[in-house]
Amino acid sequence: MYSDATSFCTHLSVDELDLLSDGSKPVSLSRGDTLDNRELETWPILAISSGVIGMQHLLEDGRKTIAAFFMQGDIIDLREMQSHHRGQLIALKNAGVCRLAPQIFRQITASNPAAQNVIWSNLRQQTYRAMDHSADLAKKHALEKLASFIFECRNRQVMSFAKNIVVIPVRRVDLAEYLGMQPETVSRCFKDLEARGIIELQSISNIRVVQIPTLRRIANGDRYANGLVDDNDKGFKVLHFG
């Protein structure tokens, strides 16, 4: 499993890898599998080697939300997760993860500053990402959220064939749960971007971004790029909205 090395593992010595394989537990997950919270208490740390894991929250009446996506290289550290925190981890795509025991993890991070740095940095990235995502959800319109998401995918995808090809790694439903909208709305927004020539849907999961600057401006909430302006007035007049 270490052939598919995460950036974390590439910083480990042979001894540490040995140590890790003793105090760790590789698991492979199919789409829809959830990670048992009970077992997470003894193996609270996960390193994702492939696939996509989502942190899913359920509301009483069945509404679902995916609060975050975890992908290759992410370390999920659930120690001290508050009891009032109501998320569960679910595989959104067949995934390979490695569960780590806390003491081994602590041992390695204490002795290997490089590995520790990678983990810290990853955790900070997760924090920034979650906050950016909060900002997207709070005040952006559906189209803007989708535009933001396309950039998020672009930033995260490891090897991009071409810079303007973006792979959507999850189903429409999951995307909708992540962006706080309905699958129908997601679909309509994709169509809208396509109709305006900003993106091309090469397949269900591959999109080609034709007009990157325009998409950027939509993502940033620019009403002009967003198509909300009055077109008979040179483009700086705003229709509705204040």
Chain residues in the site for its own copies (CB under 8 A): 55, 57, 59-61, 63-68, 77, 79-82, 84-87, 110, 113, 120-121, 123-128, 130-135, 137-140, 144, 151, 155, 177-180, 217, 220-223, 241
Q: Which does 163 bind (CB under 5 to 8 A by kind): DNA, its own copies, none?
A: none
Q: Which is nearer to its own copies, 106 or 191 (CB)?
A: 106
Q: Which does 177 bind (CB under 5 to 8 A by kind): its own copies, DNA, none?
A: its own copies
| Rounded least distance, CB 23 to DNA, Å | 35
The sign one gets for the Cα dihedral 14, 50, 102, 38 is negative
Q: Which is nearer to DNA, 26 or 227 (CB)?
A: 227
Residues near DNA (CB under 7 A) are: 141-143, 171-173, 180-188, 190-191, 201, 204, 240-242
What is the rounded distance in angstroms from the CA atom of residue 158 to the CA atom of residue 150?
Answer: 14
| Rounded least distance, CB 134 to its own copies, Å | 5
| Rounded least distance, CB 219 to DNA, Å | 13
What is the rounded distance in angstroms from the CA atom of residue 95 to the CA atom of residue 59?
Answer: 25
**Measured CA distances, 65 to 37, 56, 136, 208 (Å):** 18, 6, 15, 27
